[in-house]
Amino acid sequence: MISLRDVSKSFPGTREPAVRNLSLEIEEGHLVALVGPSGCGKTTTMRMINRLIEPTSGAILVGGKNVLEQDVVQLRRGIGYVIQSIGLLPHRTVRQNITTLPWLLGWDEARITARVSELVEMLDLDPDLLGRYPSELSGGQRQRVGVARALAADPPVMLMDEPFGAVDPIVRERLQDQFLDLQTQIRKTIVFVTHDIDEAIKMADRIVILNAGGVIEQYAPPEEILESPGNDFVKQFVGIDRGLKGLALKESSNVGDVITALRGGRL
């Protein structure tokens, strides 16, 4: 669904490219997390997909079409986009924020109204919030409105940059659970940037571990990253408690497994 081929990005005035010869295939309906330390190029990589950053070289295909050959405004309207600070328009109500894209796309009022009701239900939003301004919302509400806005025109592809990063851990966990639940129904193709390996393990179908300069250290499902980290960098990045994380991930995990693991010295 999304295909990056030999993509590089050099910013003017820097010696080393931010991303060098990166190639990546993302399957339809997958949530792929880009993880890595700061400066690894994960956000740059994501922002090249909707051309908020123009690649220096290489090709990026979304749905089989090269994004570099498309009108940039039309391209972005077809891709959902959520950033950490959300960036809701402070001078528009929640409803106006959510309906931004359908409105830009020229949907009629009946269709927009129907879509708003769907989104309110999908994201479990209080309908009373629709008439409020973003400054009147809590952090968690804002985050959900941001996701609703990105989903409004039902894009097949979504880009999410630390979408749950700006809220406290308890709210974050709730938002993650809710979004995972939603994703099993809507099956979007999602690129999810996070610096938090635990979040990546929880959310992703596959994880890309990036090192400085956009070098892919490993691209694998979470279980595989935990059980057989590809190299020392991955091992270190995932952390020493990876055995425990692996158990937490397995639905079949029970007390017996933990004891076995402890005896085997894997924890």
Binding site for another protein (CB under 8 A): 50, 52, 73-78, 81, 83, 85-92, 100-101, 104, 129, 132-133, 135-141, 146, 149-150, 159, 171, 174
Name the pairing type of β-strands 65-66 and 215-220: unpaired
- Interacting residues of 134 by C-beta distance below 8 A, sequence separation 6+: 88, 89, 90, 92, 94, 97, 142, 145
Instruction: Render the burial of 152-168: b for 16+ CB within 10 Å, e for the rest.
Output: bbebbbbbbbbbbbbbe
Q: Minimal distance in Å, beta carbon 140 to another protein?
A: 4
Closest CB to another protein among residues 141, 211: 141
- Closest CB 131 distance from another protein, rounded Å: 10
- Residue 119 Cα to chain centre, angstroms: 19
Angle between the N-to-C axes of helices 255-263 and 242-249, in degrees from 0 to 180, rounded to the nearest 10: 160
Least Å distance, CB 123 to another protein, is 12
Q: How far is the CB of 132 from another protein (least distance, A)?
A: 7
Shortest distance (Å) from residue 87 CB to another protein: 3
DSSP string, 56-102: SEEEEEETTEEGGGS-HHHHHHTEEEEETT----TTS-HHHHHTHHH
Q: Between 138 and 236, name the residue whose CB sits nearer to another protein.
A: 138
Q: 74 or 184, CB closer to another protein?
A: 74
- Cβ proximity to another protein: between 135 and 254 the closer is 135
Nearer to another protein, 98 or 216 (CB): 98
Q: In angstroms, give the least distance from the CB of 81 to another protein.
A: 4
Tell the smallest beta-carbon distance from residue 52 to another protein (Å): 6
Dig out the tokens for 147 from the structure: 């996701």
> Which one, 85 or 117, has the nearer CB to another protein?
85
Per DSSP, 41 falls in state S
Q: What is the rounded CA–CA span in Å between residue 237 and residue 248?
A: 18
Q: Which is nearer to another protein, 20 or 172 (CB)?
A: 172
Residues whose CB is less than 8 angstroms from the CB of residue 8 and which lie 6 or more positions away in sequence, other chains included: 17, 19, 20, 21, 22, 55, 56, 57, 58
